[in-house]
Amino acid sequence: MKDTNCIFCKIANGEIPSKTLYEDDKFRVILDLGPASKGHALILPKEHYANLYELPDETAGEVMKLAKKMAVQMTERFGCEGFNLVQNNGELAGQTVFHFHMHLIPRYKDDGQKIGWKPQEVTQEELEAVVKCFGAEE
Ligand code: AMP
Ligand code: ZN
């Protein structure tokens, strides 16, 4: 299904031009217009899924396989020294375009980017409570 109001549907399906690194019948990989680094790209499914929760299992598997393939090729061709795969899921997590996409961010020495989080202190009891909350306690 496509969403007629969705810009990534239009880009993924070629109705709006983009700088495309890869395309097949299910995906298009485009360069991000606000890149974190040289080669920052986005994997877009051609079908509209707003987020990870909506993504079919089969498509989720294909996204990860494609991410690996792209990471290998981009590392060879751009000469990056590391890679971040990022998927912002939900507004609170930083998602701004509500058509599922995976960020492929090549990393270079001194690229000035810092992608991460602030580690918090945690006790064994707190970790155990999380396991219990998840429902995985023995
Ligand atoms: P997110 O915040 O994870 O939803 O990421 C959205 C990303 O899409 C951002 O990195 C934007 O720079 C990028 N973006 C938004 N519009 C376009 C566009 N028309 N073409 C390419 N990238 C875009
Ligand atoms: Zn869409």
Atom of ligand 1 nearest to the CA of 98: 4
- Nearest-10 Cα torsion for 6, 12, 17, 22: 160
Per-residue pLDDT at 81 exceeds 70: yes
Gap from CA of 103 to ligand 1 centroid (Å): 9
Pocket of ligand 1 (CB under 6 A): 7, 18, 30, 32-34, 88, 94-97
Per-residue pLDDT at 38 exceeds 70: yes
Give the global pTM.
0.96
Q: What is the mean pLDDT of residues 93-119?
A: 96
Q: What is the mean pLDDT of residues 6-20?
A: 97
Gap from CA of 38 to ligand 1 centroid (Å): 15
Percent of the chain with pLDDT over 70: 98
Per-residue pLDDT at 137 exceeds 70: no
Q: Please report the pLDDT score of residue 2 as a whole number.
A: 76
For 15, 43, 66, 96, 118, the CA distances from 85, given in Å and listed in that order, are 26, 10, 12, 17, 18
On whether the CB atoms of residues 131 and 137 are closer than 8 A, the answer is: yes
Per-residue pLDDT at 34 exceeds 70: yes
Q: Can you read off the two tokens belonging to residue 79?
A: 């000469």
Pocket test for ligand 1, best of 11, 85, 96, 102 (most atoms within 8 A of CB): 96
Gap from CA of 85 to ligand 2 centroid (Å): 20
Nearest CA to ligand 1 atom 18: 33
Average pLDDT, the chain: 96
Nearest CA to ligand 1 atom 1: 95
